[in-house]
């Protein structure tokens, strides 16, 4: 967690890892025009391709939370997160990848109407596996929402594709730590001991 | 918040009132005065005219530059020489965009600055109005912060926050964009007290003792061949005196980066000298041979390290920086400490016992130094044969001014010669665009430095290429009689380009030859006293003459055109693979 990183640091050389691991980054930011631009601009300048980025309000007025799913080598990303941390409108940055967290995504799909009971049961099974639920089936269309981890949604989509996936909209991942908050940011953004 | 007033609800013109209302523009000027600004650099235009309309009422000296880039560099030079926060003003659209090079220059070198731009009235924003541009969007990646102020009542707070952001922690430039009507509308909003600033996201360094200094003190105690590499951060923290004390207490020699020039008096027995791509061989050897390298307030950037995999191979590498994101960015770091350079040095001083002289190590460096200076001292040595060489010119300016002048260098060969041969003694006396490498920096930045430190003599050292990039500021120097002495190291070419083409591109010279005006006659047209020197024996005379001028002066030094800067680290190579020249 960047905001609580110790002042003393030992870091290996900045050689890139071969593997570009998926990271889920959570940033608490000030809700103000331009904040998204600052964050995404910094990631762009460092050539990161954002897999998904969501922004929404939090329990605290005036503060928003961004969840950024991103692939990149660990050392490079750690350095970029430290740079994100110094953006004036960014209050906290955490890489959730290394701490217990829950991650969920919402997806909306429109499907071909199944051409028989067998197809329908396969479709329903795929939806069930990803927290899916049919919405407005009465109008003859087959639309559903899926609420699951991004990986579960990926799998469900693989199963749905051969059954006729007409349209897909994904919301991007949101995530939250599942450990108790150990620090509370003070007024000036520095964590309390 | 006042209700948004749109152009059909124009404020009454100031002149029509008997009591001048306190409009946004006045709040801007009040804030500048409150923040300690005395001299500001700007260029008027439609959207900032409300500021120019009230400027006379405030104790602010406005320097009318000839191009906004010059204004930004002048504000930068003012900041670097004084340790304060320089201010630049530009109008919307092209005026604001012309600031960008100066903002990026300041950003790369952690120079505090506040840039004020006008923009079209709020109701016209986003409508492609005349001279409208999204300057905040353009400035974001090259500023520490940039924002638009959309409410006159927000002006005092936005101004106070801009200055606080610019100078706190790792300093940097801040741009505030004011739609014209925000400057024209009345506001009674008071200037905030420090505790009223809303900057929860501003990283402020933890101040006070640095417990991690225990570990560093132990490393220094154990090391046989320790070396400190001190950068700009030491001067930003105003900690050069502490650095000297730490060096003397621990008997550790101190190398410096380009912007770390002035951290130590170069004649001090523990000052190793300038490191890096065109640094002294003995310093680079010391980096490669040391067993402990303590980087303080530097970035370990590529011009210092070369190939990082072969950098300081025998050393435990320590990196102290106020900016956490610098640590581990470029080189393997065995111990990183996030702290203000001054706090760290003070903490070290409290912990370090007086060291025995490290005779063997210091003698080794001294031995390397003898070889290094014999090979490259005065570079080509052309001056010995009656041909004028840059190293000689820089050396003579240093001697003539007792090494007490502020020297503002441009970018390229001139910058490296200035760094190597001037012989700096004090902090804040060497200004240069180290990170961005902005040609055209020297003359306008020297203008700002000279105005900020009238008690000092200010020299701009610039090549004929960089000079031609911003020479429009000669008129500013004349109009305000700013006493900058300009030494043009004129080799009628882009010297560093030619050097790279000679050494790396197999002598395939393209666009390196540079036609320029007759600089003496050019200065005559501007009313600036100017001299030309073509032989070594003329150098002292013209420097003495130029120093007597009450205002600006220029010397056109016609150099031997074949001179290169050596040693040189080739791109992609390491500090142990320097090319040595100077034998031609």
Tell me the two tokens of residue B116.
């004020």
Q: What is the pLDDT of residue B412?
A: 95
Q: What is the pLDDT of residue A98?
A: 86
Q: What is the pLDDT of residue A187?
A: 40
Q: What is the pLDDT of residue A185?
A: 44
User: For domain B380-565, which CATH number applies: 3.30.460.80, 3.30.465.10, 3.30.70.1520, 3.40.50.970?
Assistant: 3.40.50.970
Q: What is the pLDDT of residue A186?
A: 41
Q: How far apart are CA A99 and CA A84, in angstroms?
A: 19
Residues A27, A93: one domain?
yes
Q: What is the pLDDT of residue B105?
A: 98
pLDDT of B577 higher than 80: yes
Give catalytic residues of B, as residue numbers: 68, 130-131, 180, 496
Q: Domain range for residue A24?
A: 2-6+15-99
Q: What are the pLDDT digits (tens) for B102-123?
A: 999 999 999 999 999 999 999 9
Residue pair B22/B187 in contact (Cβ under 8 Å)? The answer is yes
Interchain proximity A188–B202, CB inside 8 Å: yes
Give me the CATH number covering residue A166.
Answer: 3.30.70.1150
Q: Which CATH superfamily is domain B213-368 in?
A: TPP-binding domain (3.40.50.1220)
Q: What is the pLDDT of residue A137?
A: 63
Interface test with A, best of B315, B319, B328, B330 (most A CBs within 10 A): B328
Residue ranges of chain B assigned to CATH 3.40.50.1220: 213-368
Q: What are the pLDDT digits (tens) for B288-308?
A: 999 999 999 999 999 999 999
CA of A5: which chain B residue's CA is closest? B324
pLDDT band (50, 70, 90) for residue A3 = very low
Within-domain flag for A171: yes
Q: How far apart are CA B326 and CA A160, in angstroms?
A: 47
Q: What are the pLDDT digits (tens) for B421-452?
A: 999 999 999 999 999 999 999 999 999 999 99
pLDDT band (50, 70, 90) for residue A184 = very low
Interchain proximity B324–A86, CB inside 8 Å: yes
Q: What is the pLDDT of residue B561?
A: 77
Residues A45, A81: one domain?
yes
User: What's the mean pLDDT in B244-251?
Assistant: 98
pLDDT band (50, 70, 90) for residue B336 = very high
pLDDT of B17 higher than 60: no
Residues A83, A106: one domain?
no
Within-domain flag for A183: no
Please give, rounded to a whole number of angstroms, the shortest distance from the CA of A88 to a CA of chain B: 5
Q: Is B29 touching A (CB cutoff 8 A)?
A: no
Q: What is the pLDDT of residue B371?
A: 86
- Name the residue among B511, B512, B527, B514 with its Cα closest to residue B488: B514
Which residues, at least 6 apart from B529, have a Cβ–Cβ distance to it below 8 Å?
A: B523, B545, B546, B549, B553, B554
Residue pair B225/B289 in contact (Cβ under 8 Å)? The answer is yes
A88: nearest CB among B145, B308, B332: B145
User: What's the mean pLDDT in B485-509?
Assistant: 95
Q: What are the pLDDT digits (tens) for B131-170?
A: 999 999 999 999 999 999 999 999 999 999 999 999 999 9
Q: What is the pLDDT of residue A20?
A: 79
Which residues, at least 6 apart from B174, have a Cβ–Cβ distance to it below 8 Å?
A: B113, B114, B115, B143, B144, B145, B146, B162, B163, B165, B166
Q: What is the pLDDT of residue A129?
A: 87
pLDDT of A167 higher than 80: yes
Phi-psi group of B276: left, alpha or beta (phi > 0 → left; psi -120 to 50 → alpha; rest → beta): left
Strands B145-148, A8-11: parallel, antiparallel or unpaired by DSSP? unpaired
Within-domain flag for A186: no
Tell me the two tokens of residue B179.
């739609």
The phi, psi pair for A135, rounded to 5°, reads -125, 145
Residue pair B79/B112 in contact (Cβ under 8 Å)? The answer is yes
Q: What is the pLDDT of residue B3?
A: 43
pLDDT of A150 higher than 90: yes
User: What's the mean pLDDT in A134-151?
Assistant: 86
Question: Could you tell me the pTM of the whole model?
Answer: 0.92
Q: What are the pLDDT digits (tens) for B361-415?
A: 999 999 999 888 877 555 556 777 888 989 899 999 999 999 999 999 999 999 9
Chain B CB contacts of A88 below 8 Å: 144-145, 165, 199, 201-202
Residue ranges of chain B assigned to CATH 3.40.50.970: 7-196, 380-565
Residues A63, A23: one domain?
yes
pLDDT of B79 higher than 80: yes
Residues A74, A107: one domain?
no
Residue pair B310/B329 in contact (Cβ under 8 Å)? The answer is no
Residues A133, A72: one domain?
no
Chain B CB contacts of A11 below 8 Å: 327-328, 332-333, 336
pLDDT band (50, 70, 90) for residue A182 = very low
Q: What is the pLDDT of residue A43?
A: 93
Domain-terminating residue out of A99, A129, A153: A99
Within-domain flag for A185: no
Q: What are the pLDDT digits (tens) for B480-492?
A: 999 999 999 999 9
Does the structural domain B7-196 have CATH classification 3.40.50.150? no
Q: Is B167 touching A (CB cutoff 8 A)?
A: no
Residues A93, A130: one domain?
no
Residues A125, A52: one domain?
no
Q: Please tell me the total count of domains within chain A.
A: 2
Residue pair B258/B277 in contact (Cβ under 8 Å)? The answer is no
- Above pLDDT 70, what percent of chain A? 81
């Amino acid at each position: 967690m960047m905001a609580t990183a110790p002042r003393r640091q030992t870091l290996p050389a900045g050689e890139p890892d071969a593997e570009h691991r998926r990271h889920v980054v959570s940033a608490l930011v000030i809700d103000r025009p331009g904040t998204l631009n600052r964050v995404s601009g910094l990631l762009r300048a460092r050539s990161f391709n954002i897999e998904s980025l969501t922004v929404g309000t939090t329990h605290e007025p005036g503060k928003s939370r961004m969840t950024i799913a991103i692939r990149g080598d660990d050392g490079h990303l750690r350095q970029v997160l430290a740079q994100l941390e110094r953006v004036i409108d960014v209050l906290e940055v955490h890489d959730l990848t290394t701490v217990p967290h829950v991650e969920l995504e919402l997806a909306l799909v429109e499907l071909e109407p199944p051409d028989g009971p067998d197809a329908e049961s396969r479709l329903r099974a795929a939806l069930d596996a990803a927290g899916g639920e049919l919405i407005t089936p009465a109008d003859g269309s087959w639309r559903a929402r899926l609420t699951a981890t991004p990986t579960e949604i990926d799998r469900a989509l693989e199963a749905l594709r051969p059954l006729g996936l007409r349209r897909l909209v994904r919301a991007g991942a949101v995530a939250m730590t599942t450990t108790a908050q150990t620090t509370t940011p003070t007024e000036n953004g520095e964590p309390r001991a | 918040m006042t209700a948004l007033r749109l152009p059909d609800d124009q404020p009454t013109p100031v002149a029509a009132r008997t009591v001048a209302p306190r409009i946004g523009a006045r709040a801007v000027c009040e804030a500048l005065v409150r923040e300690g600004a005395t001299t500001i650099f700007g260029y008027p235009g439609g959207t900032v005219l409300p500021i120019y309309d009230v400027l006379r009422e405030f104790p602010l000296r406005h320097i009318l530059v000839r191009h906004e880039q010059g204004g930004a560099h002048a504000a930068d030079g003012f900041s670097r020489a004084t340790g304060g926060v320089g201010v630049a003003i530009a109008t919307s659209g092209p005026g604001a965009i012309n600031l960008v090079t100066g903002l990026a220059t300041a950003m790369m070198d952690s120079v505090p600055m506040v840039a004020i731009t006008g923009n079209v009235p709020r109701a016209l924003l986003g409508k492609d109005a005349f001279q409208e541009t999204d300057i905040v969007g353009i400035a974001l990646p090259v500023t520490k912060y940039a924002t638009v102020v959309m409410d006159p009542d927000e002006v005092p707070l936005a101004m106070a926050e801009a200055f606080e952001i610019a100078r706190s922690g790792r300093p940097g430039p801040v741009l505030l964009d004011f739609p014209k009507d925000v400057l024209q509308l009345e506001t009674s909003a008071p200037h905030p007290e420090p505790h009223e600033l809303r900057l929860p996201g501003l990283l402020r360094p933890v101040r006070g003792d640095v417990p991690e200094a225990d570990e560093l003190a132990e490393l220094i105690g154990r090391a046989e061949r320790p070396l400190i590499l001190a950068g700009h951060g030491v001067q930003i923290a105003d900690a050069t005196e502490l650095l000297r004390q730490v060096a003397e207490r621990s008997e550790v020699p101190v190398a410096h980066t380009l912007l770390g020039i002035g951290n130590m008096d170069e004649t001090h027995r523990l000052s190793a000298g300038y490191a890096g791509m065109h640094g002294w061989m003995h310093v680079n050897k010391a980096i490669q041979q040391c067993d402990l390298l303590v980087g303080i307030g530097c970035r370990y950037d590529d011009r210092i390290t070369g190939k990082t995999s072969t950098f300081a191979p025998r050393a435990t590498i320590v990196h102290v920086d106020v900016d956490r994101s610098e640590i581990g960015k470029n080189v393997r770091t065995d111990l990183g400490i996030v702290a203000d350079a001054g706090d760290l040095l003070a903490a070290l001083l409290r912990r370090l016992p007086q060291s025995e002289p490290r005779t063997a190590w210091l003698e080794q460096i001294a031995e390397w130094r003898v070889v290094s200076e014999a090979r490259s001292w005065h570079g080509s040595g052309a001056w010995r044969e009656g041909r004028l060489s840059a190293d000689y010119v820089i050396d003579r300016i240093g001697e003539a001014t007792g090494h007490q002048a502020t020297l503002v260098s441009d970018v390229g060969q001139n910058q490296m010669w200035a760094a190597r041969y001037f012989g700096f003694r004090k902090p804040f006396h060497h200004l240069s665009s180290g990170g961005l490498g902005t040609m055209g920096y020297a003359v306008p930045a020297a203008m700002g430095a000279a105005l900020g430190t009238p008690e000092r003599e200010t020299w701009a050292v610039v090549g004929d290429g960089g000079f031609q990039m911003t020479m429009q500021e000669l008129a500013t120097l004349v109009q305000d009689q700013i006493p900058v002495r300009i030494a043009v190291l004129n080799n009628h070419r882009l010297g560093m380009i030619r050097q790279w083409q000679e050494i790396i591109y197999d002598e395939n010279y393209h666009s390196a030859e540079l036609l320029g005006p007759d600089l003496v006659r050019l200065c005559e047209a501007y009313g600036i006293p100017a001299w030309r020197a073509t032989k070594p024996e003329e150098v002292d005379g013209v420097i003495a003459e130029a120093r007597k001028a009450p205002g600006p002066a220029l010397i056109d030094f016609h150099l031997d055109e074949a001179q290169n800067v050596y040693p040189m680290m080739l791109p992609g190579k390491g500090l142990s693979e320097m090319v040595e020249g100077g034998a031609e």
